A and B are shown apart, each in its own frame.
Chain A
Amino acid sequence: MSEVHHNRSVNNSLFDYLLCIGDDLLILGHRLSEWCGHGPILEEDIALTNIALDCIGGASALLQFAGQIECKGRTEDDLAFFREAVEFKNLQMLELPNGDFAFTIARQFLFDTFGYFLYGELSKSTNKELASIASKLYKEVVYHQRHSIEWVYRLGDGTHESHSRLQAAFDELWMYTGELFSVEENHLILLEEKIIPDLTKVKPQWHERISEILSNATIAIMPEEDLYFSRGSRKGLHTEYLGHLLSEMQILARSFPGAKW
């Protein structure tokens, strides 16, 4: 009986965790897709749209797996289109409007370097399905990272205008980085089972990596002690922007349930 209870707790926790990392990719993918037709040059328009497609593909795999774990017959589309804002677990950073190109790149860089460590660790998960999805995401994020790092160098160490726009973007985004590596209490059981990695151990590596790149790009990072960090994303606390994003993302599926094309 206690083993049944234990397995149920692991599944509940894994379901919640999959929503967290699946929603990250879904919301970021949606934001990136807004660049389609608006990129600074044709080639970059295609690059951003490709990354958006990778994100949405990853979200689809993770949410599909979440639906299977939940055992209530919900598909990845049900989870994407028929949940309310408070049920979304994505990082607040990812739902913020795209801003200018520098802001989009700064956010992408912060998330790509986070994803690089997260998916790398998750691909060693004791859960085979999760490990397999994560190794595909890892392969993709290695490329995404290469793309965003090059732009951080170009903009940061570019013209006066590109530098000041990129610096302003990092200044605005930094308060959202505090929860990237926080471990939720209801995920501790997954940590014990080695289904998810202990990200608090990865945070110094992440910090070292972005500090090195930003310093080469002549971008300053705010000292941690001076700053308020936003928290609560994983519990469904969001900025005012998520509701607007969802209303656009979900309207078709909600107006025409089961629509196919």
Chain B
Amino acid sequence: MENQDFFDSQLELWEVFLQQEQGGPHTHAGSLHASDAEMALQNARDVYARRGPVFNIWVVPSVMITSTTPDDKGPFFDPADSKIYRHPQFYKVPKGVRNV
């Protein structure tokens, strides 16, 4: 029961995504505790964005994320390697296109 009390004293869990340059992808940086979205943004700034270039931050309540389980591995991720044209690497990107 003590563990339960300890868990309750923590604020909600949020996931943090950082975009390093305009047009680039938001990549997962880590997680943190916060009571609301503004606190999550501020904590993300202080914990993850104080060093290095950051252009934009997303914060998402962790409970909003639905994830696959290890059991899903087979049916979800068995790739169709025989059809190479299904992979993006099959196609050449024209010069001058950035951040694809």
List of A residues within 8 angstroms of B35 by Cβ:
154
* Chain A, interface residues (CB within 8 Å), range: 10 to 19
Complex A-B: 17 CB contacts under 8 Å: A41-B10, A41-B33, A42-B33, A43-B32, A43-B34, A43-B46, A44-B43, A46-B43, A46-B46, A47-B42, A47-B46, A143-B45, A147-B42, A150-B38, A150-B42, A154-B35, A154-B39
With an 8 A cutoff between CB atoms, is A146 at the interface? yes
CA distance A43 to B45 in the complex (A): 10
Q: Which of B33, B34, B46 contacts A50 (CB 8 A)?
A: B46
Contact A146 B46 (CB under 8 A): no
Residue numbers of A with Cβ under 8 A of B are 41-44, 46-47, 50, 143, 146-147, 150, 154
Q: Which of B10, B11, B39, B50 contacts A150 (CB 8 A)?
A: B39
With an 8 A cutoff between CB atoms, is B54 at the interface? no
With an 8 A cutoff between CB atoms, is B47 at the interface? yes
Given the known interface contacts A50-B46, A50-B50, the answer about A43 and B33 at a Cβ–Cβ threshold of 8 Å is yes
Q: Which of B11, B42, B45 contacts A41 (CB 8 A)?
A: B11
Given the known interface contacts A150-B38, A154-B35, the answer about A43 and B50 at a Cβ–Cβ threshold of 8 Å is no
Proximity bits, B27-62, A CB within 8 Å = 1, else 0: 000001111001100110111001000000000000
Contact B38 A43 (CB under 8 A): no
Question: Nearest chain B CB to A29's CB is how many angstroms away?
Answer: 16
List of A residues within 8 angstroms of B46 by Cβ:
43, 46-47, 50
List of A residues within 8 angstroms of B38 by Cβ:
150
CA distance A143 to B32 in the complex (A): 19
CA distance A13 to B5 in the complex (A): 58
CA distance A146 to B39 in the complex (A): 10
Contact B47 A146 (CB under 8 A): no
CA distance A43 to B32 in the complex (A): 7
Question: Nearest chain A CB to B57's CB is how many angstroms away?
Answer: 13
List of A residues within 8 angstroms of B43 by Cβ:
43-44, 46-47
CA distance A69 to B34 in the complex (A): 45
Question: Nearest chain B CB to A141's CB is how many angstroms away?
Answer: 15
Question: Quick one: closest A residue to B40, CB to CB?
Answer: A43
Question: Quick one: closest B residue to A149, CB to CB?
Answer: B38
Question: Quick one: closest B residue to A151, CB to CB?
Answer: B39
Known pairs A43-B46, A150-B39. 17 more at Cβ < 8 A?
Answer: A41-B10, A41-B11, A41-B33, A42-B33, A43-B34, A43-B43, A46-B43, A46-B46, A46-B47, A47-B43, A47-B46, A50-B46, A50-B50, A143-B45, A146-B42, A150-B38, A154-B39
CA distance A41 to B39 in the complex (A): 12
